[in-house]
Amino acid sequence: MNTTKLKISDLRDKFSNGQINLDPPYQRRPVWRTKQRELLLSSLFNGIPVPALIFHVRFDKKKKKDIYDVLDGKQRIETILHFIEKKILKDEGKLKVSFKNPNTNKLDILEYKDLQNKKINEVYSQLLEKFWGYEIPVIEYSGDLEDFFGNNVAAMEVFVRINSTGSPLKKNEIRHAKNSGHFFDLGLKLERKYKKLFHNKWKIVSKRDIDRYILHEFILELCTSIYEEKITNKREKLEYVINKGIFKTKELNFINKRFNEIINWIKSIFPNEEINTTRFKNKSDFYSLFNVLYSLLMDNYVSVDKKANIIAGNFLKSFSYRLNKLDVNVKPYNNNNNKIRDNDKSDIDYLISTKHSTDNIKQRTIRHNYILSLLKDGFFIKKKDKKRNFSTNVKNILWFEATQKTSKPKCPRPFNYKNCKNFLTYDDSQIDHNFPWAKGGPTKLHNAQLLCSVCNKSKGRK
């Protein structure tokens, strides 16, 4: 550890030189308000001491220079740089500082550009020089990060303390600090994509949860269950999957694709975001629903049938309503639970499973099986035909029928697609599911029609 000082001008130069890494994986997320930023700037102009910036310094062999990973002080650095350059912070406008003008004795509220402009006041240019020369205290760590976090518990403890401007890092923040990699990045990508949905619309997580990486971790957990193709015990598997490190692109694409499919399915089940009025906005219930839908998806159930999904949504809403009503009376480990009502036994088991160790595999299994049986037994969700492709026999029959009346059969042009070839030839025509396979249309003769290849492709895209 090394204690030193850094002039604001040097900080700016290091940043311009690409040496300041504002977003190492262990950075915290909270964002400052404009007021806090302007208060800091005011401190700098008035020579009031500010807390030390904490860097982890490492030599980057590729870039051939020292890189300063920001352990603590991201908000301060961004504020200073934004004040000067105005483009660091996307959501922040011009930052201003107020000065008591010695000539007029009035308060001038100025931005960086005004200070540069000597015409306003000679005094301000001196202020600016003082600003550039302000020395911020700095604490530098160096050495291997693995060592820094992983094996050396004492050093980790140091990190937890130094990065605690208010409260120490939570477990998942430390986990976040220790890990990065492709799987981890996929989690970040999905988090960016679905942050608004999970927070504003579905209300599964709070803003604070997002800042504390709880949403990111939750998404990674959902990804883990996709990867493992089953519900998993607590966060053991998550740890295992993250530490696995290397993923094939194919594996990551699979997880990404399935994740999106399930989210779209849930959107279609709760088209007006009513999930936020049900118990499925609780992470443990949501986790179960997500995984039930995943297993249905893998079992070839239809996920894109709007009508069926609305019914499924109503079904889940009534399930949720029933359980919430029962919930107030149910206590974990309470022998009286059995007396509530005999036929509510499964409901009560489900509720108990949401009361303690909710991410334990045993509890997860109880919820999973219950929701799965509810949805599977429901008449509303159809299964896709196991077979997707029609046999040549079917084509021959269709071709025979088409050529009975005319020697030049026309393409049915179901979409009046302008590039339609109009007439069918045996070689060019393809067999189409009249009612789409993905929506549960059977791969049977009565659901088959011949289309020209252009129309078949265009229908497939829709």
Residues of this chain that bind Zn ion (CB under 5 A): 411, 413, 420, 452, 455
Residue labelled with tokens 């599911």 = 433
Phi first, then psi: what are they for 149, rounded to 5°? -100, -55
Cα distances from 87 to residues 14, 20, 78, 79, in angstroms, run: 17, 16, 10, 10
Residue 269 token pair: 């089940």
Amino acid at 275: I
Phi first, then psi: what are they for 77, rounded to 5°? -65, -45
Residue 3 CA, chain-centre distance (Å), reads 38
Burial 225-253 (b: 16+ CB within 10 A, else e): bbbeebbbeebebbeebbeeeebeeebbe
In whole angstroms, give the CA distance from residue 206 to residue 311: 29
Contact 294, 226 (CB under 8 A): yes
What's the number of CA atoms in the CB half-sphere (13 Å) around residue 282?
Answer: 14
Contact 171, 46 (CB under 8 A): no
